[in-house]
Amino acid sequence: MDRVAIVAGLWFAGWIFAATELASFAFNSPLTGGITGFILALLTVFLWPWLMPRALEDWMHDAPR
């Protein structure tokens, strides 16, 4: 279950970083981008089965040895 948390953390960090950089560049307002990125990460977390490669999906749910 720790692997799912790692991927989820990277998913949220990626969306927040991307939205922050876009808002900093476009609007000079990184805080608005951070909030927007968090909301987008929440809304898109349900798209994992369609967006993630099969190898990553298998790695997340494989039992640690």
- What is the Cα–Cα distance from 37 to 58, expressed in whole angstroms? 26
* Residue 2 binned pLDDT confidence (cut-offs 50, 70, 90): confident
Angle ∠(17,23,24) on CA atoms, nearest 5: 85
pTM (predicted TM-score): 0.82
- Mind listing the pLDDT tens digit for each residue in 8-56? 999 999 999 999 999 999 988 888 999 999 999 999 999 988 888 999 8
The domains of the chain are located at 2-59
Write the DSSP string, 2-61: HHHHHHHHHHHHHHHHHHHHHHHHHHS-HHHHHHHHHHHHHHHGGGHHHHS-HHHHHHHH
